[in-house]
Each structure stands twice: as structure tokens, then as C-alpha cells.
Amino acid sequence: MRSWVAVAVAAAVLASGCGTAGVAQGSIDRQNGQTTMLAPAAVTAQLAVYPAGSACASVRTAMPIAQVPAACAAQWRRFGVRVVPGQDLISRLPALAPVSVGPGVDTRDAARYAAALWRMDAFKAFALATRQIGIVDGLGPDSFFRRASQEVQAIVAGDQITQPTCHAFPTALRVVRLTPDFESFARRSGVALGVKVTFTGPCTGTATDAHGAVHQLYTFDGRQSVVYVGDIGSDAPLGNVLELTALGDCRQPVAKRTCAS
């Protein structure tokens, strides 16, 4: 089971680019019985780690904070980092997963949410790999990841963790409108969107403490889906990341209708 699934309900209660998005050539509207797929370029156009002309735009690869431009260092210093991610961060990660669009979701919004989700995952992966947990505080309000991620909690406790790609990055994304029951659960209003992410197992992650004891953080086989809900940020240096406020396991009754859309 994914490390966040077990706390999805509690987390929701506690938390209470450029170009126009397009549709992949040959994709068909759901009215015709098939799923609309986004053209990858509609999303990847929004995945630049740092926008051109921004304070950190010249940081090509990860480097110590003392070696980046002063304005860039000032933006990152609030997260307590020692090493700043570079422009090559996302290019070093798995390729963007296929993105589909649920009924009633504008393709431009779908591209924005998919890009924000992928950027969030990229910065979280960097935070875990470099043990710079302060970064995740910019990926959700009220210390969301410190409460909802067993990986983050393990690192805070001083453990060493495994970080398998099967748990860090989904194999499919679907941007959906939240149904009223899940909208209420996630404390959203209006036309609220979420990103249904699907992970593919088998996948197991562990943590090893200072005494060498190993314990399992999560394990799952097959496909596991979760709906991520949040707001798209804009503050430098993280930019347009999805700032998580709630999660819902698609096996939970409150999330099933949203997941099925």
C-alpha cells in the first residue's frame, strides 16, 4: 500500500508556461466512448525547472547553495537547503507519464495540473534524495508531507530510505473534476479539479535506522490509484507546483466516483 494511503483521510481533515494545451492527434472525446489524451508537449512546455530570466535560470545542474547566484540563493535559503536543484532536474527523471482528461475538464487546465503534479513529484524526489526535507514544506501547506509521507518522516527520524521509481513517479495521470462527495471530503468548492495518479507495482520501500534495523514503509502489487488535490503555486523558486491539501485512495468509498470519472 502506498505510504500516503493510510493517512489520506486524516490528511484531508487536517489540511482541511507557455503555449496552449492541445489534444494528442487521433485522440477522441469521451462522448465517442474513448478517452481524450493530452499531447505530451502541452505538459512538457510547462516543466522548465526555472523560467528564463529568473534568479535561478543559470543554475544548470545541482550545486551547493554557496555557488549559485545570490538572488537564487536567497530564494532557496528559506527551505534550509545545502544543494540547489538545477535546470536538468526533470530531464534526469522518468519520462512524463501519459495524461488523460476527465469529462468537463478543459485541456488547458489539464495540462496545468499535470505539469504542476509532475513538478511537485520532481522536487519531492530531490528533497528525499538529498535529505533536504525543508523543500517539501513548499509542496503543501501546514507541513502536509511531514504528516502524510512515511518517507519524509523516516528521514526526519534519521533513517536511510530506499526510493524506488515505482513509488516516486506514477505511470498514468488523469485530471478529473471532483464529484460532490469527494469535493466535500477534500474541503474544496466550486469547479474543483484533482489529479488521479496511478502507480504500478510490484513496489516496496524500506527504511533503515541507525542501528541497522530495516522496516517496511510500503508495499503494493499491480496498480494503485490515488487522487491528489491541491492548489497550483507560483512562488519562486518552486514555481507552478501542485501544493497538496488532500489525498484520496481510489478504493475508499468517498473517492470511488471521482476516480471512475
Q: pLDDT digit string (tens) for 15-42?
A: 333 222 222 222 333 444 468 999 999 9
Grid coordinates 495524461 are at which residue? 99
Q: Contact at 8 Å (CB) between 49 and 85?
A: yes
Q: Which among 99, 83, 80 has a CA at the least distance from the CA of 37?
A: 99
The pTM score is 0.88
The span from the CA of 152 to the CA of 159, in Å, is 10
Q: pLDDT digit string (tens) for 158-214?
A: 999 999 999 999 999 999 999 999 999 999 988 899 999 999 999 999 999 999 999
DSSP state letter for 94: P
237 Cβ contact list (under 8 Å, min separation 6): 50, 54, 55, 56, 72, 75, 76, 84
What does the pLDDT average to over 227-239?
98
- E-strand stretches of the chain: 36-37, 63-64, 83-84, 99-101, 160-161, 172-177, 193-200, 203-208, 214-220, 223-232, 242-249
Q: What share of the chain is helix, strand, coil (3-state, %, to 5)?
A: 35, 20, 45
Q: pLDDT digit string (tens) for 130-158?
A: 999 999 999 999 999 999 999 999 999 99
